[in-house]
A = this chain, B = another copy of it.
Amino acid sequence: MTQKRIYNFSAGPSMLPLPVLEKAAAELLNYNGSGMSVMEMSHRSKFFEEIIQSAESLMRKVMNIPDNYRVLFLQGGASTQFAMVPLNLLASPEGTADYIVSGSFAKKAYEEAQKFSPNIKCAASTKAENFVRVPGQDELTLSPNADYVHICFNNTIYGTKYPYIPETGQVPLVADMSSCILSEPVDVSRFGLIYAGAQKNVAPAGVTIVIIRDDLLKEPLPGTPTMLTYKTQAENDSMYNTPPCYPIYICKLVLEWIEELGGLTALAERNQKKAALLYDYLDNSQLFQPVADKASRSIMNVTFRTGNPDLDAEFAKQSAAAGLSNLKGHRSVGGMRASIYNAMPYEGVQALVDFMQKFEQEHK
């Protein structure tokens, strides 16, 4: 290595656990005595079948997924789910669905759904407040006859997360968990469908996790592409065609790493400790202010700013030079964002806070 590994605060793709990368490197040319790389093996081989089955059973165990849910490994990222959810869950081309608009991706999901029915509704939005918080339960205007309610559980760009799970009665709750899946325990039984692009907490980009309750595996709307049909994917155990084998393999390694750490309860403690270190500093800083409302704070994406765009730019530049990478905030929010997913060690957040303190001293 010509340079040591850095602390990468990217919103995604993002850091993977070092032991996972080391294992992947060690068996890259020859997996488990197979004489080939995981990248080279037939998805129908016993080697790969063991990998995908392990990934699924580990996901079930780690997330405590009830038996009446399927776990699918798909492609296309959350943006493809924005179409798959309405295509598969709307009862008809005039079906109704409620979308809670709590950020940029929640809004994209809402807009995509409108391609498939004229009855897609906005149940609540915090756009007027530039998405610094998520709507509360009492702000939701839910249709009792909706086919589903859609939320984005953690809003990567704004650094917010639902502090509660919306109550939707008999209507299935669908959640985009791309930036918070596997970060802490979650009661899967409260959701009809959970999906997540893997590239933040699970695996490299290229695999999408879908956790779907059995009763939602139904006939999709007419004209739905076969590849975008949950039922077909479930009936074929995610192998209707060749799945993204290598990302699924890394997903398995990440899940093994989570198990070794003590599962999601241990990981949540670790993540809360990391986030608390940063938020505590922000709450006391004279230079930096947190962006998200306290009650809606994400423990995965922490947004902050100085209030001076030039100083923000200077901070992003200097921190990158110091081996703290990708701290520039999304253009729609400005300022800075530190994404501190599972694989970011406590030491990385400590290094960031140390750097911020030094920067604050130099700019007061």
Q: Is A112 in the interface zone, CB < 8 Å from B?
A: yes
Contacts of A224 in B (CB 8 A): 115
Task: Determine the distance from Cα of A246 to Cα of B112 in the docked complex, in whole angstroms.
Answer: 27
Q: Which of A199-237 contact B (CB under 8 A)?
A: 199, 204-207, 222-228
| Count of chain A residues near B, Cβ 8 A | 71
Is the beta-carbon distance between A29 and B5 smaller than 8 angstroms?
yes
Is the beta-carbon distance between B30 and A2 smaller than 8 angstroms?
yes
Is the beta-carbon distance between B36 and A245 smaller than 8 angstroms?
no
Which one of B16, B39, B205 lies within 8 Å of A21 (CB-CB)? B39
Is the beta-carbon distance between B115 and A225 smaller than 8 angstroms?
yes
Contacts of A78 in B (CB 8 A): 241
Chain A 31-58 per-residue mask, 1 if CB under 8 angstroms from chain B, else 0: 0011111011111010000000000000
A4 and B83 in contact (CB under 8 A), knowing A16-B40, A78-B241? no
Kindly specify which of A7-15, A186-194, A256-264 makes contact with the partner chain: A7-15
Task: Determine the distance from Cα of A224 to Cα of B83 in the docked complex, in whole angstroms.
Answer: 9
What's the nearest-Cβ distance from chain B to residue A36, in Å? 5
Q: Is A319 in the interface zone, CB < 8 Å from B?
A: no
Q: Is A103 in the interface zone, CB < 8 Å from B?
A: no
What's the nearest-Cβ distance from chain B to residue A52, in Å? 12
A30 and B16 in contact (CB under 8 A), knowing A41-B10, A82-B226, A206-B246? no
Chain A 80-113 per-residue mask, 1 if CB under 8 angstroms from chain B, else 0: 1011100100000000000000000000000010
Q: Is A68 in the interface zone, CB < 8 Å from B?
A: no
Is the beta-carbon distance between A79 and B8 smaller than 8 angstroms?
no
Is the beta-carbon distance between A6 and B241 smaller than 8 angstroms?
no
Chain A 238-260 per-residue mask, 1 if CB under 8 angstroms from chain B, else 0: 00111111110010000000000
What's the nearest-Cβ distance from chain B to residue A252, in Å? 14
Contacts of A34 in B (CB 8 A): 3, 6
Q: Label chain A's interface by main secondary structure.
A: loop
Is the beta-carbon distance between B3 and A35 smaller than 8 angstroms?
yes
A242 and B21 in contact (CB under 8 A), knowing A1-B30, A39-B204, A225-B228? no
A244 and B35 in contact (CB under 8 A), knowing A112-B225, A326-B45? no
Contacts of A244 in B (CB 8 A): 75, 205-206, 244, 247
Is the beta-carbon distance between B4 and A35 smaller than 8 angstroms?
yes
Q: Is A168 in the interface zone, CB < 8 Å from B?
A: no
Chain A 18-34 per-residue mask, 1 if CB under 8 angstroms from chain B, else 0: 10011011001110011
A35 and B205 in contact (CB under 8 A), knowing A25-B28, A43-B13? no
Is the beta-carbon distance between A16 and B33 smaller than 8 angstroms?
no
Is the beta-carbon distance between A37 and B16 smaller than 8 angstroms?
yes
Is the beta-carbon distance between B242 and A6 smaller than 8 angstroms?
no
Measured CB to CB, the nearest residue on chain B to A26 is B25
Is the beta-carbon distance between A42 and B76 smaller than 8 angstroms?
no
Q: Is A116 in the interface zone, CB < 8 Å from B?
A: yes
Is the beta-carbon distance between A245 and B325 smaller than 8 angstroms?
no
Task: Determine the distance from Cα of A52 to Cα of B263 in the docked complex, in whole angstroms.
Answer: 36
Which positions in A face B, CB cutoff 8 Å?
1-6, 8, 10-16, 18, 21-22, 24-25, 28-30, 33-37, 39-43, 45, 75-80, 82-84, 87, 112, 115-116, 197, 199, 204-207, 222-228, 240-247, 250, 323, 325-326
Nearest 5 CB-CB pairings of A with B: A6-B35, A83-B225, A206-B244, A39-B204, A79-B241
